[in-house]
Homo-oligomer: A and B are copies of this chain.
Amino acid sequence: MKTYSISDVAKELNLTVYTLRYYDKEGLLPFVERTDSGRRLFKENDIEALKVIECLKSTGMPIKEIKSFIDWCGDGDATLQQRYNMFIERKATVEAQLAELNKTMEVIEHKCWYYKTALEAGTEDIHKDDKIEV
């Protein structure tokens, strides 16, 4: 079975070796094995797990909570319900983030228009009577 060094994995996932060691220190990578001399040996599956960790991180989940999930994974079928609940919760979080980001996009697009027209007019004064300005 193919294995990867810590710097291989760092390159593959666009992380630093520091970050990977930090994750390990925080208990996110209990499944990563070691060589006899103590070097980390990543397997394909470990990289997939790290992708899930990165996915959870991108939802804004703090590392301590991700650790709970990783711990549950090690506990087997008894924790299936917790893990399911966690992903349902994450789904709601991401839905809220998408809604918020879409609202943000609307404001940004309004501002693009605001400055485009101001630029064409040579002055911001053309928006003097608008509702929103800065």
A13 interface residue (CB < 8 Å to B): no
On whether A134 and B77 interact (CB within 8 A), knowing A94-B101, A112-B91, A119-B84, the answer reads no
Produce 1/0 per residue, A98-109, CB < 8 A to B.
101110110111
**In the docked arrangement, what's the CA distance between A108 and B122, Å?**
47
13 A-B pairs with CB atoms under 8 Å apart are A55-B104, A58-B104, A76-B124, A77-B122, A80-B115, A80-B119, A84-B118, A91-B109, A94-B101, A94-B104, A94-B105, A97-B101, A98-B101
Q: Do A101 and B58 touch across chains, with their CB atoms under 8 A apart?
A: yes
Q: Do B45 and A108 touch across chains, with their CB atoms under 8 A apart?
A: no
14 more A-B residue pairs beyond the given contacts A55-B108, A80-B123, with a C-beta to C-beta distance below 8 A? A48-B132, A49-B134, A52-B107, A52-B132, A52-B134, A55-B107, A59-B104, A80-B115, A80-B124, A83-B115, A84-B115, A87-B115, A90-B111, A97-B101
Q: Number of A interface residues, CB 8 Å? A: 44
Q: Do A100 and B134 touch across chains, with their CB atoms under 8 A apart?
A: no
